[in-house]
Structure 1
């Protein structure tokens, strides 16, 4: 609630998403952060840029078969959304020493098959900068992991990833 209440949305669409995420947390105070909430749950993801900010690290998601940013579900040990985003990015990239920018850059709500009837990820998206010369390692959650020029993202990806990369570069 603190992160979303204090975040300044960059446009009207993001403001609507911010208010929707806050309403979700108000309506689901006990479980709105957790995967078990069938109505939807907060997730945290990260666009990882290289030190020069000319490349972005994307994962070929094992289930969705699309190139996406790194991220996933919040866990009880995550003290903050930023901590969840950094943990997920580190786990999925194998890169130690990622530097997470402190504020989210955008929000995204998307359907997911977390429950038999379907569910929603209310994704709070961050940016991290990899250390110079960082080497990545593919995790069990990915079919592949690769650096791509920020101006030439791979297919298949989606407009959310493109928007996240644009906003990341603006930071």
Structure 2
């Protein structure tokens, strides 16, 4: 099962989602990430945070949704509508859900405050991914309506 974490720039949130998911996912599940307008580079603070937490980001790079190696079955958008961001609409017959997360790339303040914004995005994504992977996935793969409802519910979790 292929999962796509999608945002606009593909430098922070979607990369974190991809890395966390692949770190935790069972065999047969794989995540990738992409952006509708990729920045072309992974934010250095995303890479530093993943390294500190012992999560591999080897081979991850900022890429366009036009350059995906496989067709996803599930697309999770992570743009924050609260910040007025417009999430890209992935075309194709896939299950779509939205897990809005504030973009830490726009955080300002001291180094500690900016690092805290990256950690907050990480924690929300990890919580949601753990909840996703705790679902009875084999059963839900046969019931797309129920899976979509569960993924939409998970997208509201914040702690």
Fold shared per TM-score above 0.5: no
TM-score by length of 2: 0.28
Higher helix share: 2
TM-score by length of 1: 0.27
Higher strand share: 1
